[in-house]
Amino acid sequence: MTTAAVERRTSPVAYGDLREWLRAAEQLGELKRVGGVHWDREMGAMVDICYRRASRRAPALVFDDVPGYPPGYRCLYGMMASPRRFALTIGGLDVATASGTMEILTRYRERMRDVKYLPPVETGSSPLLENVLDGDDVDLLKFPVPIHHELDGGRYIGTACAVITRDPDTGWINAGTYRIQVFDRNTATCYISPGKHGRLHRDKYFERGQPCPAVAVVGLDPLLFLAARYQVPPGLSELDWVGGLREEPMRVLRSETAGLPIPANSEIVLEGEFRHDEKRLEGPFGEWPGYYAGGKIEEPVFRIRRIMHRDQPILTCAASMKPPHAHLYERAFIRSAALWEGLEKASVPEIKGVWVHEAGSGRTFNVVSIKQRYHGHARQAGMLATQMVPVAYGNRWTIVVDEDIDPSNLDEVVWAMGTRCDPKEDLEITRRCWSSKIDPMIFDQKLYNSRVMVDACIPYERRGEFSPVAETSPELRSRMLAKYRDTFADILGDEVR
């Protein structure tokens, strides 16, 4: 057993790299291997069909024997799109005994609360060194890069990825998930929305008339993919956050072309630079709102100088579609937890639950449940939530409900909106908020949107006199389940608790 393997035994994260994660997912019955599916739209279509029909019950899909490519050159979709795969990824999270989404989210928040940031350590060894391509050997299309959606403008190698950049002033290392389109063997583009951390880094280089060094990990450990979408606070690194979750520092190589850290447990890594003096037409691409929004717009060229990859490499993929799709579940979790944490840090009391809904593409429809303690409490929670990371970008609807409403249950949320909200009194609209070209309602280069906060709580002054809810009480429910358990089991099956 290697030293690394011995050390991993003490980590709450049970796997060391993507291949170990795949074996663990397969043992859980959460993985399906599929052969012979084409990279040209077929993979994305199969993923969409499976997740539209089964959603959280669909397995992760590994596509092998891709036409035109060597056996073993694989594509993976749907890494964390189920409770058990999500729990496997972050470690230390038991979802088997949880009674619902809010309980799983509470356990996840407890796991996140104890994370201590650990900076990476450099190593000279990595399976990435099995294949190092420089100069004329660089070829992005040696991998089965998919056209993920039918109307995409080309092949996208970066979807479930981590793009690593450095702030030229402070040295702060950021890892973010940004889409990467391939044009030829060493030419790509990387779209980064204004305001994102990687974009802030790139803009600083460009303002000085310099290219921006970058590393794109396009075959990655699922934990790094989670981190690249987590939005750690500015100045802190996602690589340090991964180290904290593992309770051991991430091992990194030092990029020879970009001088940036490269996670040593990766499958495929692209080293290069964003060019300040070259542009290509990028897009369109099926994006997180569920539309081909933004069209074709010139973006800076991402010039690839070197490729490193393991033998029989795995390209990690994420194709956003009209909800539901294969990477919404974990997005809802990490953003719900971050919004809940932000509200508590802003001293909003008695937050009982938060859910960033999958049906809102993990951004546009967000619900906060509170136990009201004073006049204006609901407005305070709601107005703050409309502008907080991680939903400040692209948010549309923020709903505040009472503590008896499960914020993850749309039936309950809509019922509260329909019975506890007076539209002329309980809606607040904010204008000129943060959006991007990906928003299908943006019709010019003014990247603003408006958003509404809906107070769907019982008016504070009427709480004691509001009409009682017509539903079976917890006490009667418990007695009935105990007395007629076999009857309920025949009717409801696994739904009985």
Asked if residue 58 lies in contact with residue 81, where contact means CB atoms within 8 angstroms, the answer is yes
* Side-chain half-sphere exposure of 134, counting CA atoms within 13 A: 4
Q: What is the pLDDT of residues 79-118, one digit of tens each?
A: 999 999 999 999 988 888 887 889 999 999 998 887 899 9
In this prediction, residue 4 carries a pLDDT of 43
* Three-class secondary structure of residue 451 per DSSP: strand
Order of strands across the sheet that contains 261-263: 121-122, 251-254, 261-263
Residue 425 lies in a domain: yes
Asked if residue 407 lies in contact with residue 355, where contact means CB atoms within 8 angstroms, the answer is yes
pLDDT classification of 233: cutoffs 50, 70, 90 = confident
Domain of 339, CATH number, reads 3.40.1670.10
Overall average pLDDT of the 248-261 stretch: 94
Characterize 48-60 residue by residue with b for buried, 16 or more Cβ atoms within 10 angstroms of its Cβ, and e for exposed: bebbeeebeebbb
In this prediction, residue 8 carries a pLDDT of 44
Which residues, including other chains, have CB under 8 Å from residue 206's CB and lie 6 or more apart? 212, 274, 276, 300
Overall average pLDDT of the 158-178 stretch: 97
Looking at the structure, tell me whether residues 337 and 399 fall in a common domain.
yes
Structure-model confidence comparison of residues 7 and 470, the more confident one: 470
Overall average pLDDT of the 340-351 stretch: 96
Looking at the structure, tell me whether residues 283 and 386 fall in a common domain.
no
Looking at the structure, tell me whether residues 173 and 265 fall in a common domain.
yes
Looking at the structure, tell me whether residues 303 and 334 fall in a common domain.
no
User: Quick check: 496 pLDDT over 70?
Assistant: no
Looking at the structure, tell me whether residues 123 and 219 fall in a common domain.
yes
Q: Report the chain's terminal Cα–Cα distance, integer Å.
A: 43
Domain of 137, CATH number, reads 2.30.110.10
Residue 373 lies in a domain: yes
Looking at the structure, tell me whether residues 431 and 294 fall in a common domain.
no
* Three-class secondary structure of residue 4 per DSSP: helix
> Which among 279, 308, 337 is the end of a domain?
308
Asked if residue 381 lies in contact with residue 414, where contact means CB atoms within 8 angstroms, the answer is no
Mean pLDDT, the chain, as a whole number? 93
User: How far, in Å, are 183, 208, 435 from residue 294 at the CA level?
Assistant: 19, 27, 12
Query: Considering only CA atoms, which of 357, 358, 360, 384 is closest in space to residue 370?
Result: 384
Gap between the Cα atoms of 48 and 149, Å rounded: 9
Residue 39 lies in a domain: no
pLDDT classification of 494: cutoffs 50, 70, 90 = low
Residue 388 zone, left/alpha/beta (φ > 0; ψ -120 to 50; rest)? beta
Residue 46 lies in a domain: no
Gap between the Cα atoms of 408 and 406, Å rounded: 5
Looking at the structure, tell me whether residues 296 and 339 fall in a common domain.
no
Overall average pLDDT of the 2-21 stretch: 73
Overall average pLDDT of the 117-124 stretch: 96
Overall average pLDDT of the 8-28 stretch: 90
pLDDT classification of 1: cutoffs 50, 70, 90 = very low
Residue 476 lies in a domain: no
User: Quick check: 398 pLDDT over 50?
Assistant: yes
Is 287 annotated as catalytic?
Answer: yes
Query: Considering only CA atoms, which of 273, 275, 261, 266 is closest in space to residue 308?
Result: 266
Residue 2 lies in a domain: no
In this prediction, residue 84 carries a pLDDT of 92
Looking at the structure, tell me whether residues 363 and 396 fall in a common domain.
yes
Count of domains in the chain? 2
In this prediction, residue 37 carries a pLDDT of 96
Q: What is the pLDDT of residues 426-459, one digit of tens each?
A: 999 999 999 988 888 888 778 899 999 999 999 9
User: Quick check: 293 pLDDT over 90?
Assistant: no
Count Cβ atoms within 10 A of the Cβ of residue 36 and give its class: 0-12 exposed, 13-18 middle, 19 or more buried: exposed
Looking at the structure, tell me whether residues 286 and 176 fall in a common domain.
yes
- Portion of the chain with pLDDT greater than 90, in percent: 80
Looking at the structure, tell me whether residues 159 and 234 fall in a common domain.
yes
Asked if residue 224 lies in contact with residue 268, where contact means CB atoms within 8 angstroms, the answer is no
In this prediction, residue 377 carries a pLDDT of 98
Residue 212 lies in a domain: yes
CA angle 293, 297, 298 (to 5 degrees): 155
In this prediction, residue 495 carries a pLDDT of 62
Question: What's the sign of the alpha-carbon dihedral 231, 286, 317, 355?
Answer: positive
Residue 473 lies in a domain: no
Overall average pLDDT of the 338-343 stretch: 94
> Which among 308, 340, 364 is the end of a domain?
308
Preceding omega of 71 cis (within 30 degrees of 0): no
In this prediction, residue 42 carries a pLDDT of 96
Q: Check 247, 273, 282, 287 and give the catalytic one.
A: 287
In this prediction, residue 438 carries a pLDDT of 86
Looking at the structure, tell me whether residues 391 and 291 fall in a common domain.
no
Q: Identify the domain containing residue 422 by its residue range.
A: 329-462
Task: Tell me which amino acid residue 455 is.
Answer: D
pLDDT classification of 326: cutoffs 50, 70, 90 = confident
Structure-model confidence comparison of residues 497 and 163, the more confident one: 163
In this prediction, residue 497 carries a pLDDT of 57
pLDDT classification of 3: cutoffs 50, 70, 90 = very low
Gap between the Cα atoms of 146 and 43, Å rounded: 7
Among 8-17, 58-67, 186-195, 320-329, which stretch is predicted with the lowest mean pLDDT? 8-17
Looking at the structure, tell me whether residues 277 and 217 fall in a common domain.
yes
**pTM over the 0.75 mark:** yes
* Three-class secondary structure of residue 110 per DSSP: helix
Overall average pLDDT of the 316-330 stretch: 90
The pair of three-digit structure tokens given for residue 382, joined into one six-digit string: 């709601």
In this prediction, residue 280 carries a pLDDT of 97
Which residues, including other chains, have CB under 8 Å from residue 271's CB and lie 6 or more apart? 214, 215, 255, 256, 257, 258, 260, 262, 304, 305, 306, 307, 308
SS3 percent helix, strand, coil of the chain, rounded to 5, is 30, 25, 45
